[in-house]
Amino acid sequence: MKEITLKHEDICNQVQSIVRKIQLDNWTPDIIVGIARGGLVAATMISHYLRKPLKTLNVSFRDGAEPPSIDTAIFKYLADGLNVLIFDDINDSGNTLLWIKEKLSIVNVTNLRFGTLVENAGSKFKGVEYYGMEIDKREEDVWINFWWENWWENR
């Protein structure tokens, strides 16, 4: 298995690239939803840069986790007509983003876009508009190490 480590500087560069892509699309999110835990660092950076509010959503399918339930309190922030950017660290299998898209379709979130730092071309979810780098796990098994996952080891 190939390992790729994304350092703080790499993440900053990716976030800057993602923000530029958003700006070039002439689309601005009204609200950013960061997926806990992995998506929160970059979602916070994008939120600060664009000066837009950040909400969080805890969704995980890793390590045999039970299918999550959505905190319905977030629905009040995602009124129809708002531009909503859902942001996670990686679109790996696609399960998380597929699940979120399905749940948000129930409440008519129509101006929904997705962003990740890393896009897996082999993912089941094919709707990530904004990403920093692309991998393809169909061609090579890759594990991404994000700097915040082991920051205490590199101090």
Would you state the structure tokens that stand for residue 6, as one six-digit string? 């994304």
* Selection from 119, 123, 131 nearest residue 85 by Cα: 131
Confidence grade of residue 59 (pLDDT, cut at 50, 70, 90):
confident
Give the model confidence (pLDDT) of 120-133 as tens digits. Answer: 999 999 999 999 99
Give the model confidence (pLDDT) of 41-51 as tens digits. Answer: 999 999 999 99
* Selection from 6, 52, 55 nearest residue 34 by Cα: 55
**Distance in angstroms between the alpha carbons of the first and the last residue of the chain:** 26
Question: Is the separation of the CB atoms in 96 and 35 below 8 Å?
Answer: yes
* Selection from 17, 12, 7 nearest residue 129 by Cα: 17
Listed by start position, the domains of the chain span 2-60+70-150
> Could you tell me the pTM of the whole model?
0.91
Alpha-carbon distance values, 135 to 54, 119, 141 (Å): 27, 6, 9
* Helix 8-24 with 40-50: angle, nearest 10 deg: 50
Q: How far apart are CA 22 and CA 60, in angstroms?
A: 26
Strand partners, 134: 119
Classified by CATH at the fold level, domain 2-60+70-150 comes out as Rossmann fold (3.40.50)
Percent of the chain beyond pLDDT 70?
88
Q: How far apart are CA 91 and CA 119, in angstroms?
A: 5
